[in-house]
Amino acid sequence: MSPQRLKALLERVRRGQVSPEEAMLELRSLPFESTEDASIDHHRALRCGHAEVVLAQGKTISQVESIAGRIVKAGSNLLVTRLEASQARRLQRLLPRGRWNQAGRIFGLTQEKPVPGSGNVLVVAAGTSDLPVAEEAAFTLEFTGNAVERIMDVGVAGIHRLLAHEARLREARVIVVVAGMEGALASVVAGLTDRPVIAVPTSTGYGASFGGVAALLAMLNSCASGVTVVNIDNGFGAAFAANLINHPPAPPAPPRPVRRAPASRTSH
């Protein structure tokens, strides 16, 4: 349940349009719902602004369908990452209004329109081999209400390809850089702009890349300022961090003044 939906429900109770008993029925699954294989956190949207995200990797098709179905039934937006094609086809049949991004191995179903971000997020990928991770990031960003632009295949082996987009690098609110091999692209991008750069090392590369460890270490040792690094192949994590930057939280409400009871006067 999102903060907007909860607020609307409480407002309907205040106006007498919904009884307290009816509201309790609607809230009965908060804060979580237990199944045989999972504990689904329906309260997460209230705490974090977005519903729980399902990682399909390592789960059976029936487990993915069960968890996804309960999230949708609760009225939340659904995002499922790392889907195999067989899982995605079954999920598409169960939830035909959802959208599957095959390249990014990610599925989303929007039931409540997200709040728009304050600017655009630029996803920059070094090579076509990095596309699955870049698309996971781009889809997650779009799903969470961000305007997204993509620049693909602009690795440092042909740096003139990146320099052709220098103006777009400066205009973005946040930049997500996805690169494997030696992972140098994040440092180059951060050296061209004053925008926050979130670097995603990928497992793309030959033997000495050690499954993305070489790119991870290079990004962690970047000499450029403003580079933050997430885990190998974690396009989702980078996108969520960029989304938080692009959706600054509202300032907390000022505390209400405490009314103190007047001191009683006693005679001596």
The model carries a pTM of: 0.79
Measured distance CA(7)–CA(257) in Å, rounded: 23
Q: Which residue has the tokens 């191995």?
A: 105
Q: How many residues does the chain have?
A: 268
Tell me how crowded residue 118 is: count the other CB atoms within 10 A of its CB.
13
Task: Compute the distance between CA of residue 2 and CA of residue 260 in angstroms, rounded to an integer.
Answer: 35
- Domains and their CATH numbers in the chain: 13-109 (no CATH), 120-246 (3.40.50.1970)
- In the chain, count H helices and then E strands: 11, 11
Given pLDDT bands bounded at 50, 70 and 90, which one contains residue 196? Answer: very high
pLDDT digit string (tens) for 25-70? 666 555 655 566 666 665 556 566 666 788 999 889 988 888 888 8
Residue 214: strand, helix, or coil: helix
Q: Please state, rounded to an integer, the average pLDDT across all residues of the chain.
A: 85
Beta strand spans in 60-192 (E):
78-81, 99-101, 106-109, 120-125, 147-151, 174-179
